[in-house]
Amino acid sequence: MASLDRMISSSRRALEQRRGARPLAQLEEAVGALAPIRPFTEAVVGEEISFVLRVADADPALLAEAGAAGVAGLAVVGDAAPAGFEETSLPVLHRGVLIDPYQLYESRLGGADGVVLIAEAFEDDDEFAEMQLVAAQLGLDVVVQVADEDEVEHVLELLDPDSFLIQNLRDGREVPDFEHTFSLLEEVPAGKVVVSAGGIKHRDEVLALESAGVDAAILGRWVQRHGIAATLDILRGDTRE
């Protein structure tokens, strides 16, 4: 929790600087002129597990390669809003320490179609609920990140979200804890969209997550090393020439 506390403090400081330079009223006006989102959660739900590629920026060549490879969506990590993703046909999920409605407007303007809200980042239920409400008003899909069974139960009672994110890499570990993920999945009601992130690199892991009810897996930038299409073929079990 200490690490998250530091991230929240850093996020708030940076946020206040941006808010001072660009008032919320300006963001509200700009958002009103945007086209509808590309639904993120709708895009990742299918008969088989979908793959979401983590990207650092809107590199046109990389986005074209990802689209051709059949990637279902993109995940952009960072407290600052994504930028330059307005033109891609792939839905964009913004993962960051999002704690203020101002950031949701920034995400929407930057081309995000969905946002991750980290349950652990909210001590105040009213603030958590407000974030979900504002995101919905902006047309953003909301994916709630949960870390343990108590959070799942609390989030269901408070917000009853349609989508959850479960992080396989916990407490700074480099080795994924899939057993923890599977135990949390047992607490998530049927019909909810579940996204899994962290340490997913092998076909057997994909199969296990899919069997447990995961709809989409966020993959790290390592998939670019040998070509996105070739790597996804292996993860899908399609290694035919």
Q: What is the pLDDT of residue 143?
A: 98
- Rounded to an integer, what distance in angstroms lies between the CA atom of residue 33 and that of residue 232? 36
Whole domain around residue 119: which residue ranges?
Answer: 2-236
Domains: count for the chain: 1
Confidence at residue 240, expressed as pLDDT on a 0 to 100 scale: 45
Any domain includes 160: yes
**Confidence (pLDDT) at 2:** 52
216 part of a folded domain = yes
DSSP characters for 68-108? HTT--EEEEESSSPP-S-SS-SS-EEEES---SHHHHHHHH
In this structure, is residue 183 part of a structural domain?
yes
Decide if 185 contacts 213 (C-beta within 8 A): yes
Whole-model pTM: value is 0.93
In a domain, 30, yes or no: yes
Say if 241 falls within a structural domain.
no
Tokens matching residue 123: 């001590």
116 within some domain:
yes
The pLDDT profile of the chain, 241 residues, written as one tens digit per residue, is 558 888 888 888 989 999 999 999 999 999 999 989 999 999 999 989 999 999 989 999 999 999 999 999 999 998 778 888 878 899 999 999 999 999 999 999 999 999 999 999 999 999 999 999 999 999 999 999 999 999 999 999 999 999 999 999 877 677 889 999 999 999 999 999 999 999 999 999 999 999 999 999 999 989 999 899 999 999 999 864 3
Residue 222 maps to a domain:
yes
| Cα–Cα distance, 142 to 136 (Å, whole number) | 8
CATH number of the domain within which 129 lies: 3.20.20.70
How distant is the alpha carbon of residue 40 from its chain centre? 9
Asked if residue 129 is part of any domain, the answer here is yes
